[in-house]
Amino acid sequence: MRKKTEKMPGGHLLFVLAVVCALALLVMAWALLRDTGADGAAFTPPPFEENAQQGEPEVPQELGYSFLNAQEYEVGICGAPVVKNGSAVLYMTNPASNKVWLKVRILDESGQMLGESGLLKPGEYVEAVELTSMPEEDIAVVLKIMAYEPDTYYSAGAASLSTTLHIDA
């Protein structure tokens, strides 16, 4: 039997390990709970589309408007968009049956963003997306459609459509 005055071997080591574990848990909790993106900046939710309209648009047939099924959601969009008055006419539609918010980015072949919509709630559409960079001639683009879960802004997936952006003469 040990005397009460004897110290248990490794007692200091056990205390140090417990402190290190507690600190590691605190650091992990802080890393999980802080609201930052991959670049360390705080996440800023995308704005809602200022020009959103309710309902389903009436789209000219020559714009190649159709609905794409991205498994978790559908999106209505023009497959042959045109540039008119500094904007890309897309008629992007978030059907009322969806449970996600949608937005689109228009990217050139090098991945540079030419324009971006705001978020569309289910049952909304936007006729055109303002371009920040104006192409001088028809250009190959990618329409990157991004879906967000309402209120949390968690990603609900993305889909891309390669097409040509036509300059309206």
Segment 7-26 shows an average pLDDT of: 73
H or E element, residue 13: helix 11-33
Rg (CA), the chain: 26
For position 66, what pLDDT does the model report? Answer: 92
Closest of 79, 97, 86, 82 to residue 145, by C-alpha: 79
For position 11, what pLDDT does the model report? Answer: 65
The answer, as to whether pTM is greater than 0.85, is: no
Residues 6+ apart with CB under 8 A from 89: 63, 78, 81, 82, 83, 127, 128
pLDDT digits (tens, 9 = 90+) for 20-50: 777 777 777 766 666 555 555 677 888 999 9
Question: By CB neighbour count within 10 A (0-12 exposed, 13-18 middle, 19+ buried), where does 155 fall?
Answer: exposed
Distance CA 112, CA 24 (A): 40
For position 23, what pLDDT does the model report? Answer: 78
What are the φ/ψ torsions at residue 72 (nearest 5 degrees)?
Answer: -85, -15
